[in-house]
Amino acid sequence: MASTSTASFPQQNFDYFLILDFEATCQDGEKIKPCQEIIEFPVILLDGQTFEEVARFHRYVQPTVCPKLTPFCTDLTGISQEMVDNQPEILEVLQEFDDWFNERNLSDKRFIFVTCGDWDLQTQLRHEGKYKKFEVPKYFSEWINIKESFKKHRGYKGYGMMTLLKEMKLQHSGRHHSGIDDTINIAAITKALAKEGFVFEPTGKAPEKKGKKNVR
């Protein structure tokens, strides 16, 4: 009996899943103006056959529009002022992520980002890009919202990461609203759904850029 296999997963449509969960500047009860900024950028790369972690990208990011974190933000995320001061700004982190992504030749593979909600890739990154005038790389244009996958699999809604963990009978690990801990928990949910036989499909797509429509 030499088998070391502990779980079998259905064949997926992706070679790699990139679990991502941004944290951003915030305050209690109202929106940060003029622009919320990403302060933590964690991505966990999961193998699409074994759902094991194969690599990790993790940076804290210095906000530049509102460089001072609110006490509310620090309480929520566990990210202190010292953790973002002297860190690279978002453009530099995006470049570092691009290098990390390309070193692994991920664009030649079947890959997909996984988030909990659509906020990270549909809202935050795009709003910040518009405000700071940077292009959002094309690989962020499609993703899986794990809440949608859960709903499709179980037939009822899961309202947030903590609910999904409970529904999947998984222990929460680390601190809720720490980006890296949230990615670890979202990775566990992704793996558990696959273990129950779920085959993932993309659920979210960035809107087409204006002015790029085909003219007939």
Considering only residues 14, 16, 21, 45, which one is a binding residue for Mg ion as defined by CB under 5 A?
21
Cβ contact 126:136 at 8 Å:
yes
Nearest approach, Cβ of 19 to Mg ion (angstroms)?
11
Q: What gap in Å lies between CA 22 and CA 127, rounded to an integer?
A: 13
| 114 sits near ligand AMP (criterion: CB under 6 A) | no
Residue with Cβ nearer ligand AMP (9 or 113): 113
| 26 sits near ligand AMP (criterion: CB under 6 A) | yes
Residue pointed to by tokens 């929520």:
76
Task: Determine the interface stretch with Mg ion among 103-111, 135-143, 179-187, 206-214 (rule: CB under 5 A).
Answer: 179-187
3-state SS, residue 18: strand
| 182 sits near Mg ion (criterion: CB under 5 A) | yes
Kindly report the backbone phi and psi dihedral angles of residue 68, in degrees, each rounded to the nearest multiple of 5, phi listed first.
-90, 120
Sign of dihedral through CA atoms 129, 181, 49, 102?
positive
Considering only residues 9, 18, 19, 23, which one is a binding residue for ligand AMP as defined by CB under 6 A?
23
Q: What gap in Å lies between CA 62 and CA 90, rounded to an integer?
A: 7
Q: Is 53 one of the catalytic residues?
A: no
Residue with Cβ nearer ligand AMP (9 or 61): 61
Letters for 43-82 (x = contact with ligand AMP by CB under 6 A, - = none) are ---------------------------------xx-----
Instruction: From 169, 141, 171, 140, select the one nearest 154 (Cα to Cα).
Output: 169
Nearest approach, Cβ of 68 to Mg ion (angstroms)?
21
| Cβ neighbour number for residue 151 with a 10 Å cutoff | 14
Q: Which two tokens stand for residue 88?
A: 């690279």
Instruction: From 60, 57, 98, 79, select the one nearest 183 (Cα to Cα).
Output: 57
* Partner whose binding site includes residue 55, from Mg ion, ligand AMP, none (CB under 5 to 8 Å by kind): none
Residue with Cβ nearer ligand AMP (23 or 128): 23
| 183 sits near ligand AMP (criterion: CB under 6 A) | no
Q: Is 92 one of the catalytic residues?
A: no
43, burial (CB in 10 Å: exposed 0-12, middle 13-18, buried 19+): buried
Cβ contact 180:40 at 8 Å:
yes
Considering only residues 125, 182, 183, 203, which one is a binding residue for ligand AMP as defined by CB under 6 A?
182
Nearest approach, Cβ of 5 to ligand AMP (angstroms)?
33
Binding residues (CB under 5 A) for Mg ion: these are 21, 182
- Known catalytic residues are 23, 177
